[in-house]
Amino acid sequence: MTIPARAAITAVHGYVPPDVLTNAELAVMVDTSDAWITERTGIRERHILKGEGLGTSHMAAEAVRGLLQKTGTAPGEIDLLICATTTPDMQFPSTANLICDMVGIRDIGSFDVQAACSGFLYSLTIASQFIANGTARKVIVVGADKMSSIIDYTDRATCVLFGDGAGAVLLEPSADGTGIMDSLIRSDGAGWIHLHQKAGGSRMPASAKSVDQRLHYVHQEGAAVYKHAIARMAEVAGQIMTRNNLRGNMIDWLVPHQANKRIIESTAERMGLPMERVMVTINKYGNTTNATIPLCLWDYEAKLKPGNKLLLAAFGGGFTWAGVYVQWAYDGAKAVKFNGNGKAS
């Protein structure tokens, strides 16, 4: 009997645009303050992609280029590329198609996954199946969003939360039993009313009226989303732990979606994990939607050791939520580091 191959994360790279929007700058734009934002969200600044004609694919391509460069992987070696995004460059072609073209990857399967903030974990779960069934040996999964393109910067309830960025991982078959050990993806469409973008799709195509009524921006009912996010992220993490006979003291790192520091802290508390074993980047990136988890892995890469047990958890609009249990495959401290321009740092 052939044992299915397990998909291991063998490299990670990220990119955030150079322009930074601080809390102090937001306080000039809307009725808020640095203290108010920091206390309620944990965010101090976020990166914003500026430049005419630059979309999500620009950041994603930068992350993928860095990933290929740091691993010495040729574009022709990649078998599949999946992009998790809520802010595609356009309705079609997919952002994944555009990324492949920009980095010179040809003649492979590529597609987008839309599951709001859970999209990166949905994509990891999908990608791992291609590794397991032997149809792919090198798969790139990208999480990227230009949230500034759908944020109303007159609405202090949402504009303080989001930033732009991209992160990418390389998946390959595991040779030593490490890799993606288990995953769960879940959804409840009844939650759409609490977090959505009304206009721009087939239900309400763009029109002068939809633009005038500001319906192309994120609509979020904060209290409802907060309550569901804490409950669902802790729930899916608990289910993963039970299925794999894990206890809190066995988890080396919790890698949560970076929506709000209070949500992160509450999720860790429910799992019995101290904050020193929780990856937190929300202070400098804000909520980058599909990029939050890969950016966490990129930021903390040097601290990761082979065999480390990671629990990844996310919650997003829809509602969607997901959990992934990973045994880390390599010594991050020995990995070659590059900055966003692809130069050694």
d(CA 293, CA 301): 12
83 is catalytic: no
Q: Which long-range contacts (C-beta less than 8 Å, at least 24 apart) are formed by 96-104?
A: 96/142, 98/57, 98/61, 99/57, 99/60, 99/61, 99/64, 99/142, 102/57, 102/58, 102/61, 103/61, 103/64, 103/65, 103/68, 103/75, 104/75
3-state secondary structure of 152: coil
* Dihedral sign from CA coordinates of 120, 125, 126, 127: positive
The secondary structure element, H or E, covering residue 210 is helix 208-212
Which residue among the candidates 13, 47, 194, 257 is catalytic per the annotation? 257
- According to DSSP, the β-strands at 253-256 and 309-316 are parallel
Of 23, 97, 287, 290, the catalytic one is 287
Is there a catalytic annotation at residue 159?
no
Choosing from 83, 100, 117, 159, the catalytic residue is 117
Tell me, yes or no, if 13 is annotated catalytic.
no
- Structural contact between residues 254 and 311, judged by C-beta atoms closer than 8 angstroms: yes
Q: Catalytic residue numbers? A: 117, 257, 287
